[in-house]
Amino acid sequence: MHRFTTRCRGAAMAADARRHRALSFAIAATATAAAAATLAISLALSTPAHAQSGGKPAAPAASAASAPIKVGFMLPYSGTYAALGNAIENGFRLYVQEQGGKLGGKDVEFHKVDDESDPAKAPENANKLIKRDQVDVVVGTVHSGVQMAIVKVAKENNTLLIIPNAGADEATGPLCGPNVFRSSFSNWQPGYAMGEVVANRGMKRVVTLTWKYAAGEQSVRGFKEAFEKRGGKVMRELTLPFPNVEFQALITEIASLKPDAVFVFFAGGGAVKFVKDWAAAGLKDKIPLYASGFLTDGTLQAQGAAAQGLETTLHYADGLTNPRDQSFRAAYAKAYKLQPDVYAVQGYDAAQMLAAGVKAVNGDMSRKNDVYKAIGAARIDSPRGAFTLSRAHNPVQDFYLRKVEGTENRSVGIAAKALADPARGCRL
């Protein structure tokens, strides 16, 4: 009996095992079929719309239509230029906030990378935003060396790039591209504007001085082009290595040359020390000193009395009377408890440029060529004054003659109206 019961139980267990294996096989087969069906659906959804409609474009899928606009900030958030990076981002975000947090009716998603003002890290950092985060646009940067690497990566990936500061002439010159835009200036522009001013004042003999690096040399090149075109002569072009601030020997040489005027390009701490050294040498009231606007932008508190009366040229100034600037300044001060500067304006206008592209394609950022065409044709209602873009995508804009009064670079007139960079080497 025991053996019979055992045999029965064994038979029953074997039958159960067979049923279990059959059930497992059926479940596995069902799962495989489900997976295949899912894959088929996935492939169908991922097939380009034109392939599903006999070659005719179809409306984007609902998921694509609802996807946010991905903005990647590649800016300096540490080191010497951190304040500039923050101002650019603040300006950009302010415009988005004024649109209810959306562009073209779509939510905006922000991604950030600190570029550390390090050209060696620039390709990797740019690829983090473009390949890892899959941003629709890169907004960057300040440092021209970093900028050149960003331009290269953006062009390789056909990713929209809006440059909110770096003035390297090459970005909208020989390295220009249909996807590369600038909301700031080229280094050539403020120098050229000041060259016209100095020539129009009847000065004939000028000495230039700058650090020996791209920004300074390109600014001097612009000044020289305008000044000599109008009959002036640059009698000596002096340089010193970047970021050397030992100016005394050069100031002594300038004094011995007795020029009608001097044009310089310095920024940041170097600008502070040069202006103080110039005044201390007793030349402030003897030889007129002119410069690109960065000599006195963000430096006036430290320069103090030595800067009073200095004249510079830039695409933004204190004391503009246009309503757009007045409303921008009020909104920026309310949002950030700070007064805006030229960097904040450039960030604000970068957002306006992006908005023009997004609006033209109803938020469908896959239509890249249409986005680029719309931005290129846009008229930007900027706090600096309205501007358009050149064929190379650099702003065609007014440059102001500014005079230091207290802690402001007050506009005293327009030095160059609707000035376009020549975009030499650009083949767009």
- Residue 53 pLDDT > 50, yes or no? no
Which tokens in the block code for residue 25? 């096989």
What confidence score (pLDDT) does residue 243 get?
87
CA distance to 329, 344, 349, per residue, from 341 (Å): 9, 5, 13
What confidence score (pLDDT) does residue 62 get?
41
Q: Could you give the CA distance from residue 57 to residue 75 in angstroms, rounded to a whole number?
A: 37
Fold of 188-314: Rossmann fold (3.40.50)
What confidence score (pLDDT) does residue 99 get?
97
Listing DSSP states for 208-220 in one string gives EEEESSHHHHHHH
What confidence score (pLDDT) does residue 64 get?
56
Number of Cβ within 10 Å of residue 179's Cβ equals 22
Q: 188-314: same fold as 67-185+321-393?
A: yes
Phi, psi of 269 (to 5 degrees): -60, -35
Q: Could you give the CA distance from residue 273 to residue 154 in angstroms, rounded to a whole number?
A: 37
CA distance to 259, 295, 417, per residue, from 249 (Å): 16, 20, 37
Contacts of 353 (CB under 8 A, 6+ apart): 162, 181, 183, 375, 378, 380
For 87-139, how does the pLDDT look when each residue is reduced to its tens digit (9 = 90+)? 999 999 999 999 999 998 999 999 999 999 999 999 999 999 999 999 999 99
Q: Could you give the CA distance from residue 238 to residue 264 in angstroms, rounded to a whole number?
A: 9
Q: 51-55, 125-129, 281-285, 389-393: which range is least confident on average?
A: 51-55
Length in residues, the chain: 428
- Model confidence at 80, in pLDDT bands (50, 70, 90)? confident
For CA atoms 71, 153, 119, 187, the dihedral sign is: negative
Region of 376 on the Ramachandran plot (φ > 0 left; ψ -120 to 50 alpha; else beta): alpha
What confidence score (pLDDT) does residue 7 get?
36
Contacts of 64 (CB under 8 A, 6+ apart): 364, 366
- Model confidence at 65, in pLDDT bands (50, 70, 90)? low
- Reduce the secondary structure of 133-174 to three states and give it as a string: CCCCEEECCCCHHHHHHHHHHHHHHCCEEEECCCCCHHHHCC
- Residue 14 pLDDT > 50, yes or no? no
- Residue 313 pLDDT > 90, yes or no? yes
Number of Cβ within 10 Å of residue 77's Cβ equals 18
Mean pLDDT along residues 306-334:
97
Helix or strand run (H / E) with residue 264: strand 261-265
Q: Could you give the CA distance from residue 253 to residue 163 in angstroms, rounded to a whole number?
A: 38
Number of H helices, E strands in the chain: 14, 14
Please state, for a pLDDT cut of 90, what percent of the chain lies above it.
80
- Model confidence at 410, in pLDDT bands (50, 70, 90)? very high
- Model confidence at 311, in pLDDT bands (50, 70, 90)? very high
- Angle between helix axes 342-360 and 323-336 (nearest 10 degrees) is 110
Mean pLDDT along residues 344-355:
98
Listing DSSP states for 23-57 in one string gives HHHHHHHHHHHHHHHHHHHHHHHHS-HHHHTTT--
Top pLDDT among 6 and 111 is at 111
User: Hey, where are the domains in the chain?
Assistant: 67-185+321-393, 188-314
Among 260, 211, 214, residue whose Cα is nearest residue 237: 211
For 213-267, how does the pLDDT look when each residue is reduced to its tens digit (9 = 90+)? 889 999 999 999 999 999 999 999 999 998 899 999 999 999 999 999 999 999 8
Domain 67-185+321-393 = CATH 3.40.50.1400: no
For 175-207, how does the pLDDT look when each residue is reduced to its tens digit (9 = 90+)? 999 999 999 999 999 999 999 999 999 999 999
